């Protein structure tokens, strides 16, 4: 098992799109419709801001982050919202792109408000259990903890173990909010099922999880002409990066490939043109941006070469 960190974000986006498919919300709705604490947001110079759910999904809402101490003190997603409400917007919604943990955690809370379920329960009941993702969880049990891969960091040219559980300084399953921005643990086979569902335009094993239009919206650039991270030639869909002009680490991918990386090196990218999903699991810290890493490039190139040699 691996801490997949920000590869949690597409899962959160999927939950939002499931609720939109059911007519329970719209990504065009103002965030304040579901989180009234965020009804009076303003920029530092006093301009009112009314972010929509779409802004949260595309990292263009401008919400300010909670501090590390505030995050550690939070036991529920609901505990985070007052921190976001107490600070000015960093920019007017839609004005620019800035990678946002606060925006994605707000989406997790919206899932709770709309569904009436805890975020972790919604994901387990609606996605993980039916997809057969038995080892995907915010809270690994004692048996699963023994299977979590060790992580290493590079210090003065030497590898040292990096404890991934120190993200919130809690023992696993003890008092941590279900971090919609990056709290999931998973396996390559589990996350591969999630990717296959998206590759199948929302279906897996004969069950429909998302409409085709929902998957299309997630995998279509929604950030316009704004410069986004984390690699050149990318734009941003709903909870996912989207390859517009393949180059560098995305050179072997097709335009329209979408996915996300994680802080400790994990990667998952879905290429609908070649009908393949690339899922890489690794645990390392203190290395360059995983999305632009040589490891990602080499992995994708090796997979692409294998597919070519197999006649795909």
Give the model's confidence band at 168: pLDDT under 50 very low, under 70 low, under 90 confident, else very high. low
Give yes or no for residue 287 having a pLDDT over 90.
no
Question: Is 155 among the domain residues?
Answer: no
Residue 213 is predicted with a pLDDT of 99
Percent of the chain at pLDDT above 70?
Answer: 96
Which residue range is the domain that position 77 belongs to?
A: 10-115
The CATH number covering residue 73 comes to 1.20.58.710
Domain membership of residue 152 (yes or no) is no
pLDDT for position 292: 84
Residue 183 lies in a domain: no
pLDDT at 173 > cutoff 80: no
- Residue 187 domain flag: no
**Residue 243, beta-bridge partner list:** 234
Give the residue among 53, 50, 38, 118 at the shortest CA–CA distance from 83: 38
In a domain, 21, yes or no: yes
**Rounded Cα distance, 255 and 242, in Å:** 8
Tell me how many domains the chain contains.
1
DSSP state of 248: G
Euclidean distance between CA atoms 198 and 270, whole angstroms: 8
> 202 lies in a domain?
no
DSSP H or E stretch at residue 5:
none
Which range among 9-23, 147-161, 188-202 shows the weakest confidence by mean pLDDT? 147-161
What Rg do the C-alpha atoms of the chain give, in angstroms? 19
Q: Is the pLDDT of residue 180 over 60?
A: yes
- Report whether pLDDT(311) > 90: no
| Residue 280 near residue 267, CB atoms below 8 Å | yes
> What is the pLDDT at residue 167?
54
Minimal CA–CA distance to 227: which of 11, 59, 18?
A: 59
Give the residue ranges of DSSP H helices in the chain: 8-21, 53-57, 68-73, 77-85, 101-115, 119-123, 129-131, 142-145, 188-199, 212-218, 294-309
- Specify the length of the chain in residues: 312
Residues 6+ away with beta carbon under 8 Å from 258: 198, 218, 219, 237, 240, 241, 242, 243, 269, 270
> What gap in Å lies between CA 305 and CA 215, rounded to an integer?
27
Quick: pLDDT tens for 239-278: 999 999 999 999 999 999 999 999 999 999 999 999 999 9
- Whether residue 140 is contained in a domain is answered as no
Q: pLDDT tens digit string along 95-106?
A: 999 999 999 999
Q: Is the pLDDT of residue 36 over 60?
A: yes
34 found inside a domain: yes
283-311 average pLDDT score: 87
Would you say residue 166 has pLDDT above 70? no
Q: 54-68, 230-244, 292-306: lowest mean pLDDT where?
A: 292-306
- Whole-angstrom distance, CA of residue 276 vs CA of residue 270: 6
pLDDT computed for residue 290 by the predictor: 80
């Amino acid at each position: 098992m691996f801490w997949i960190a920000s590869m949690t974000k597409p899962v959160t986006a999927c939950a939002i799109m499931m609720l939109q498919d059911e007519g329970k919300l719209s990504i065009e709705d103002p965030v304040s419709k579901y989180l009234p604490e965020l009804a009076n947001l303003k920029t530092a110079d006093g301009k009112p801001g009314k972010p929509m759910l779409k802004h949260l999904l595309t990292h263009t809402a401008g919400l300010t982050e909670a501090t590390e101490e505030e995050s550690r003190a939070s036991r529920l997603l609901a505990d985070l919202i007052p921190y976001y409400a107490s600070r000015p917007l960093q920019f007017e919604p839609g004005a620019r792109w800035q990678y946002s943990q606060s925006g994605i955690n707000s989406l997790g809370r919206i899932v709770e408000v709309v569904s009436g379920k805890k975020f972790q329960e919604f994901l387990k009941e609606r996605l993980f259990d039916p997809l057969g993702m038995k080892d995907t969880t915010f809270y690994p049990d004692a048996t699963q903890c023994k299977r979590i891969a060790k992580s290493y960091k590079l210090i003065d040219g030497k590898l040292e173990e990096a404890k991934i559980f120190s993200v919130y300084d809690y023992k696993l399953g003890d008092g941590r909010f279900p971090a919609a921005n990056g709290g999931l643990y998973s396996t390559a086979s589990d996350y591969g099922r999630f990717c296959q569902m998206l590759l199948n335009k929302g279906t897996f094993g004969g069950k429909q999880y998302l409409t085709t239009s929902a998957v299309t919206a997630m995998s279509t650039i929604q950030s316009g002409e704004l410069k986004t991270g984390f690699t050149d030639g990318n734009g941003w869909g709903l909870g996912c990066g989207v390859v517009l002009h393949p180059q560098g680490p995305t050179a072997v991918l097709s335009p329209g490939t979408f996915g996300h990386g994680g802080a400790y090196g994990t990667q998952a990218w879905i290429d609908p043109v070649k009908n393949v999903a690339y899922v890489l699991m690794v645990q390392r810290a203190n290395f360059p941006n995983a999305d632009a890493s040589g490891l990602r490039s080499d992995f994708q190139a090796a997979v692409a070469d294998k597919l070519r040699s197999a006649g795909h």
